[in-house]
Chain A
Amino acid sequence: KQEVTQIPAALSVPEGENLVLNCSFTDSAIYNLQWFRQDPGKGLTSLLLIQSSQREQTSGRLNASLDKSSGRSTLYIAASQPGDSATYLCAVRNAGGTSYGKLTFGQGTILTVHP
């Protein structure tokens, strides 16, 4: 059974810092991995999706990497801003014909960026 773990559970940094959020998964037979952002009381917004054949994806100040063999992904946020404060969720899609795109989520990292 796939299990996804995110470290740290919470992170507080001053504005302007570069930071790394970590995600690990137990079954390396994944189809792809997705990073989401969740603001308090809101739904999830997709940030980046990395297919299993890819090593990284970039969008603006965000860069996500994937090391499938070691079961790890990192989300790098450059030059953090107070508006980046949110919970960041990592989710994995397993490979396999009957998975139907089902996601297994980590518990999230709560990020606070203070001015």
Chain B
Amino acid sequence: NAGVTQTPKFRILKIGQSMTLQCAQDMNHNYMYWYRQDPGMGLKLIYYSVGAGITDKGEVPNGYNVSRSTTEDFPLRLELAAPSQTSVYFCASSYVQGAVPTYEQYFGPGTRLTVT
């Protein structure tokens, strides 16, 4: 299994441009998450999904959109990029089942985005 994969690894965007960060997992996990990590800080949740067709906002959703058309893929869309969106973006997934799931999350390697 490849686990959680993210593309691209690095990207530089100009202010106002748009792009999609790709995330895929091959573990048949039902839950998926997007986080951002700013320098010297912990991760903050942007959006999450509990299954195909179901998404919801996290702590810092402004400026982002997501979709979940399949179990495997969870792309993150940035519209009108701003310098404040310069960050490292991590995608994660977990398999949630049973009465007392752990929700343990498995993370991708991240996408480093710079907006100038």
Interface residues of A in 58-115 (CB under 8 A from B): 89, 91, 93, 100-108
Asked whether, in the complex, the Cβ of B109 is within 8 Å of the Cβ of A101, the reply is: no
A-B interface pairs (CB < 8 A), number: 63
Indicate whether B94 reaches chain A with its CB closer than 8 angstroms: yes
Task: Give Cα distance in the complex from A52 to B66, angstroms.
Answer: 31
Q: Which of B33, B42, B103 contacts A31 (CB 8 A)?
A: B103
Q: List 9 A-B contacts (CB under 8 A).
A: A34-B104, A41-B112, A44-B92, A51-B100, A91-B42, A101-B31, A103-B43, A106-B42, A108-B42
Counting contact residues on chain A (CB < 8 A from B), the size range is 20 to 34
Is B102 part of the binding interface, using a Cβ–Cβ cutoff of 8 Å? Answer: yes
Within 8 Å by CB of B106, from A4, A41, A46, A101, lies A46
Q: Mark B10-48, 1 if CB is under 8 A from A, else 0.
A: 000000000000000000000101000000111111001
Given A100-B31, A100-B50, A43:B110 Cβ within 8 A: yes
Asked if residues A105 and B104 are in contact (CB atoms below 8 Å), the reply is no
The 10 residue pairs across chains A and B that have the minimum distance between CB atoms: A101-B103, A105-B42, A44-B107, A43-B107, A43-B109, A105-B43, A107-B42, A106-B42, A43-B110, A107-B41
